[in-house]
Amino acid sequence: MHGLSSSHLRLRSFTIPRQLQTLSLSSVTMSCSSLSLPSLSLKKPSLICSQSLRTSNCSGFLRFGNRNCNGAGFFMSVSVGSQAQTATTVNDALFSDYKPSCAFLFPGQGAQAVGMGAEAQNVPAAAALFQKANDILGYGQLTFCFDLLDVCINGPKEKLDSTVLSQPAIYVTSLAAVELLRAREGGQQIIDSVDVTCGLSLGEYTALAFAGAFSFEDGLKLVKLRGEAMQSASDAAKSAMVSVIGLDAENVQKLCDAANEEVPEEERVQIANFLCPGNYAVSGGVKGIEAVEAKAKSFKARMTVRLAVAGAFHTRFMEPAVSRLEAALAATEIKTPRIPVISNVDAQPHADPDTIKKILAKQVTSPVQWETTSKTLLSKGLKKSYELGPGKVIAGIIKRIDRGAEIENIGA
């Protein structure tokens, strides 16, 4: 890792898209350095601006790809951790006609496993992300006194599986996987070719960081708070999640309806994760989940699998977490992503920073629309996907939807 210098700024050119020719950036400030970029006014179609900005910027992660889907937006995301200031209203439908060819997909909670992150030790930029995370989260201080990478590699499993730790761990490991890819021959070209990204639940934050909507540091702070808020919400009411295997969405809904007839209203369940045909996660009160498990065979489900999570994620049980997330998001600078980032809430890309904040706050209480997202990407012509981070959950889901889909795992 090196300090910021002019040699670390690589400028290429592209034409500002019509949608953003009136965008004005009054001031852009880099974190961890005193560098301030002067006022930029983007008004003329012929104006040439930076297409690829690479800096070491403390963590080594503030490196952005140089491709913008269909000329759909200008980006300059180099700021960390300050109060959000939006000087220009952005058309939220900026990416509505996106045409994907290469996607980065990021996993969510549940993908963690002891041993993840081991390969990051061999790539300085990847290892630096874990050290930066320790510094930001205070893991090296006496209050916590542990090393994030060490817990990822060596466990114990119970510690890694906790909501409070697993979410930051997966976020950092997934972005470390980007650095591992960058370090291999042809890796930068792959990164530059990515024109859409998304992530499963927690992975949406990772996707937004990759797309330059917020910095690595800010994303990590949000993910840490998200995990803490979700854990607190889970502690407030007994709840659980279960995967129902072998049924379509319609019959899983019928199963939920049948279970809800036998439990009090506060114990009711709902589909929380629409993953792929034959695999849907149900969330709700513990009694409701037990009723689902008891009735599943009568609905001809192949099996049910209780999930090792703290509570009923993506349901009303997470409402206590929303206000904390809203406050944290309001204090975070979020920019228009440089490429489309597909939302878990509505399976659509959003460009307006304020809308992105609202969507992220809503996400913890809303069902994950991953099946619709995957089918939409494939139907729009997606040619190649990469799953970056621990596990192969997303690859399995994509293959379940389309056996012929091309997807490669990039672990760390």
Q: Which residues are catalytic?
A: 201, 314
Beta strands of 233-338 (E only): which ranges? Answer: 239-245, 269-276, 279-285, 303-306
Specify which residues 297 forms β-bridges with. Answer: none
The DSSP code sequence of 38-79 is PPEE---TT-EEES--B--TTTS--B--S--GGG--------
What is the biggest distance separating any 2 CA atoms in the chain, rounded to whole angstroms?
A: 67
Element (H, E) at 353: helix 353-363
Cβ neighbours of 379 (radius 10 Å):
10
CA–CA separation, 151 and 148 (whole Å) = 5
DSSP 189: H
Give the CA count within 13 Å in the CB-facing half-sphere of 381.
6
Specify which residues 14 forms β-bridges with. Answer: 49
Alpha helices in 110-263 (DSSP H): 124-137, 148-154, 157-161, 163-183, 187-193, 203-210, 216-236, 249-260
